[in-house]
Structure 1
Amino acid sequence: MTMTTFSSSVRSFFRLARPAAVVLCCSLTAACQAAEDEPIVERPLARVTQADRPAFPGAEGHGRFARGGRDGRIIQVTTLADEGAGSLRACIEAAGPRVCVFRVGGVIRYVRERPIIVHPNITIAGETAPGDGILITHSGGEHAFTPFVVKNTHDVIVRHIRVRTDLPGEQRGANSAFIIENSRNVILDHVSASWALDENVGGYAQNDAITISWSIFAEGVPRHDKCALLSSDPKGPQQLSFIRNLCAHNGDRNPDVNFPPGSCVEVINNVLYNASSQFTEVWESYGGTPANIVGNYYRQGPSTAGRAYAIDRPLVGSTGRARIYQAGNVIDGDRVTFAPIAQEAFVATPVCPLRSAVLDARAAYAQVLGGAGAFPRDAVDVRIADEVRSRTGKIGRENRVLPVLRAGTPYADADGDGMSDAWERHRKLDPARNDAWGDADGNGWANLEEFLNYAHETRLAGRVVR
């Protein structure tokens, strides 16, 4: 194992992140039932002002100020059907600021010929779903589209949603799991994706102010098995953060970074496992990418070739030299190294200010394996994390069967404001009055934002939201 070291001139630039919960997801047995009787546990939130309030407590990166559905309607998702009243599609396609909260848990399989496209000013709060949460997929065949498309939109927050495409589609280019296209102020946080015929997550056209964080992107389908294509066909400079994610069992593009000069791109504290020949690729098709690649953990796996590159710099179609600031990256495996051609583009200082906290790569490894992805973790994510720890698994898994998800029982919410009655009573709020956007404790966070943070942390801790 080798590790690049921090230079003393930049040590003070890095700050320590608040440690995330390193947890195991709740089992599907008596442990979960017992958790329903546990007291409500919260940690106090730091006071914020309207000017500096991020998307949610702990939001980081260039997309951290996405507004989502703040101050909007609370829309209940009450069915797993593809469309109609109470469907996720109806909430996503509604106009105006809104928050989608879930009264159901399970699999949503889209059967319509048109994809679902996210409209502006929305928060999709998968952390509110009962049971084992929400998984989105398509019905396969010639009309199979990318299940989750953020396109021509802005101010989008998505948390604790899974996309797993178990059935093959006939349009490879339209079969990613998540796509962000021509959009700004977007956060994908604690999502999971697997089995895409194209990238598990991709960026296209002119995006800006994007954060992809604390997520699992695994097991792309060969021969186009990719973790993340962060930019394709950009029209100008972009700001994007790819932080504390797990890429596992994807041949390459772990992630792929290809942006024009003037961009500010950061790849920070990710765990990148079992690539075949290339892990992180920094391209120069649009004039030479400026990228901060810091504190990542590159782990060799059974499918890793005899020589693989942790950071590569393909010169195909190059129109200008990249600038790569790399520091604190750990290489775990004797067959992995930095490509010599990439080292020629290394620079001594960050190419732009870091917008995310930086952990030691080994600490990030433990936290990502314990806390990335949609919670409670389903059987796929549990297996993926275990394979990273044990250095097992392979590229090209053929048995792509959706995990079984318990429906569960939704928390009581008499006034339909998205917050549980038990939590409201705990906070001395009125469960019979819709006060989602009030600020009872005067700390700058709306009541609903504090409840969603409670739901998020409760899920991470393996407890039931009640």
Structure 2
Amino acid sequence: MLAGHGAVASERAFPGAEGMGAGAVGWKQGELRLVTTLADSGPGSLRECAANGGHPRVCGFAVSGTIDLLQPIHVGSNIYIAGQTAPGDGIQLRIVEGTHGPLIPKNVTDVVIRYLKLRPGPSPRPSATVDAITVENARQVFPGNLSMAFATDETFNIHVSGATASDITLADSLDRSNHPKGRHSKGALICSDEGQGNRCGRITLLRNLFAHHRDRSPDIKATDIGPVEVINNVFYNPISQFGEFYDLLGNADIAYLGNLALTGPSTVRKTPEPVQVFEWEDGKAVRLLASDNLAGVAKGCRGRKVEVLDSVAESVLVAPPGWPVSVEPMPVSGVLDAVLARAGDRIEGRRMADALDARVIEDVRICGGRVIDNVDQVGGWPVVAQADPDGQRDSDGDGFSDLCEEARAALNPSRPNDPWEIDPQSAMSHVETWLALAAGDGSWVDAD
């Protein structure tokens, strides 16, 4: 049963946006600004664009390549960071200084971040805070179509009210790296003690690929403001555990629907069921809505078969239909192919999965790969080629490249266009049309 938790079509962040974060629209009617340099900071940098002071803004890209960060980028409210607009192979972020991951949306609302490679690597000094992305005390957030790897804490860490994380690869977190606690290869932490003031909940994890983590695939704590939805994800090759669900922050409603959990080469034989529930707080409880999930051994691997739910999870099951969910799950029989075909920052027809993501996707198919301790074990960071600047020429300075404007009848490369003027071909604004076409968000508009 579908709920009204997500946005109605006219309020969606982009065509096809789904889940609890689909209403992240505060960036609309804002400034269009282009990232024109791979420098850590300064004019034309991603850092400068992301520091918008809460004023609505779209950050497009006229460059491609790797941005080496000296400190994390703190993302403001009401912003759309549109990695799909980058030419060539896109944008990769890694850290070379500091003790945090590359992107931190904190104390913000209405944030969309799409089509980036977030791959921090170990910090120069031991740190417990190097995630690929950390979302803290936020509302209405939509990270999607991201490639995340090489974190030394969680790969994905979120404390938020109203969010969707979809079509993401979360892979190759580093185990014996430089986390103060020692071995610490982790997938995703959804609502933790750091976010208690936020009453964390109303989160959708949709069609993501988790691969090669010790555990936390995912770990969930939540409050009673709304459910956490785990829908149509693939979890592959943990060492010791898949997911753990807790009542530590309050009554937690969790929907676990149409997911596939596969053991792999790193998985120890005593690894428990993919869903473990821990009820530790008096007066608080977990309620679990679970159906059409599968647990097994990856093709070509050897291991023992386990059930999906542990005994405590079985005891807290809610009878169908339970409560409404924001996304209609696909049958689990089609989830593996669907997730492996779209997760990450690739864009059909123009941006392929790079070496890191292609390897992880193949690992799932052939029982390949292992949890790693350092980036060199999988070849390090891929080189992301820098695009030819001539292809990004913007003669009239309106933020749309000449090539883009030449392809759209309503635009003119010799005349600045209002980005929020309605495009008659798409019935959306020029900038929303540009963003959607760059992402391949739908066949709703004729690009000729």
Tell me what 1:311 maps to: 275
Which residue pairs with 1:33 in the alignment? none
Give 2:385's match in structure 1, choosing from 385, 401, 406: 406
Deviation (angstroms), 1:251 = 1.4
Taking the aligned partners of 1:14 and 1:85, their CA distance within structure 2 comes to 45
Give the structure 2 partner of residue 380 of structure 1: 356
Aligned match of 2:310: 339
Q: 1:202 aligns with which of 123, 137, 157?
A: 157
Give, in angstroms, the shift of residue 310 of structure 1: 1.2
State the Cα RMSD in Å. Answer: 2.4
Among candidates 444, 455, 461, match of residue 438 of structure 2: 455
What does residue range 319-358 of structure 1 map to in structure 2 within 5 Å? 320-333=284-297, 334-337=304-307, 338-358=309-329
In 2: Cα distance, 1:171 partner to 1:288 partner: 35
Counterpart of 2:101?
146
Moved more, 264-273 or 405-414: 405-414
Describe the superposition over 1:293-340 as per-residue Cα deviations: whole angstroms up to 9, x where unpaired.
Answer: 001111121111213311111345565221111111122224332212
Structure with more relative contact order (C-alpha pairs < 8 Å, separation 6 or more): 1
Partner of 2:19: 61
1: distance between equivalents of 2:261 and 2:67? 34
Q: 1:405 aligns to what SS in structure 2?
A: coil
Cα distance change on mapping 1:346 and 1:169 into 2, 3 Å: farther
**Displacement of 1:68:** 4.7
Q: Of 403, 424, 430, which residue of structure 2 is paired with 1:422?
A: 403
Q: Does 1:371 align with 2:371?
A: no
CA contact (8 A) 1:369 1:385 kept: yes
Between 1:339-348 and 1:233-242, the stretch displaced more is 233-242
Other-structure match for 1:217: 170
Aligned length: 411
CA distance in 2, matches of 1:185, 1:417: 28
Letter in 1 for 2:359: R
| 1:210-289 equivalence runs, <5 A | 210-222=163-175, 223-233=183-193, 234-235=196-197, 236=199, 238-289=201-252
CA distances 1:3-35 after superposition (whole Å, capped 9, x unpaired): xxxxxxxxxx379xxxxxxxxxxxxxxxxxxxx
- Going from structure 1 to structure 2, the CA distance change for 1:433 and 1:250 (only over 3 Å counts) comes to same
The percent identity for this pair of structures is 34
Decide which of 76, 79, 83 is 1:119's aligned counterpart. Answer: 76
Q: Secondary structure at the match of 1:52?
A: helix
Q: CA deviation at 1:195?
A: 1.4
- Unaligned stretches of 5+ residues in structure 2: 176-182, 298-303
User: TM-score scaled by structure 1?
Assistant: 0.83
Q: Does the 8 Å CA contact 1:292/1:350 hold for their aligned counterparts?
A: no
Change (3 A) 1:418 1:255: farther
C-alpha separation in 2, matches of 1:317 and 1:225: 27
Q: CA deviation at 1:88?
A: 0.4
Q: TM-score, normalised by structure 2?
A: 0.86
* Superposition deviation, residue 350 in structure 1: 4.9
Question: How much does 1:285 deviate?
Answer: 0.9
Q: After the TM superposition, which parts of structure 1 deviate over 6 Å for at least 4 consecutive aligned residues? A: none
Structure 2 residue 45 is matched with structure 1 residue 75: no
Distance of aligned partners of 1:182 and 1:316 in 2 relative to their CA distance in 1, 3 Å threshold:
same
Partner of 1:395: 371
- The aligned residue for residue 42 of structure 1 is none
